[in-house]
Amino acid sequence: MARDVVREARNVEPMPAGCVFCDIVAGRVAAIEVLRDDVAVAFLDKSPLFPGHTLVVPTRHVETLADLEPDEIGPYFARVRAVAAAMPDALNAGGTFVANNNVVSQSVPHLHVHVVPRTRGDGLRGFFWPRRRYTDGEADRYAERLRRALSDRV
């Protein structure tokens, strides 16, 4: 996929203080990244539903999907799509669950889309999702698998 160009003015907008996702985009906070370009950064959720659960955030700070400019939507969701398309093969998943929360239950007020690997019988039911922590080194292994799969797609 060709890299989409984001207008230069968007890249120089100040990032709000205290936004952890802006800090990840700026490199001030560490995250286990699987994709980074001028449009979005994708990184493993620190409390995943299942190993490989990835968050995709736009590099420009916006709080909700409605705050994206019309010309940003396609490039941003191309990255979401790339992660979702790579995940089944990379993680031996049957498919993916893709979700976006706006405001209600949005733990970080910065647009982010969850891409979660799914398998039959994984226990994900309704909105009461089991969370877990990665074991030592596990997050790095999952991220590397996703990076390899994404390198051909973005």
What is the rounded CA–CA span in Å between residue 134 and residue 153? 26
Query: DSSP readout, 26-92?
Result: HTSS---EEEE-SSEEEEE-SS-SSTT-EEEEESS--SSGGGS-HHHHHHHHHHHHHHHHHHHHHHT
What is the rounded CA–CA span in Å between residue 138 and residue 151? 20
What's phi and psi for 86, nearest 5 deg?
A: -80, -30
Selected catalytic residue, list 53, 61, 112, 114:
112
User: Starting at the edge strand that comes first in sequence, how are the strands of the sheet with 95-100 ordered?
Assistant: 33-36, 40-44, 54-58, 113-118, 95-100
Tell me, yes or no, if 114 is annotated catalytic: no
Report, as residue numbers or ranges, the catalytic residues.
112
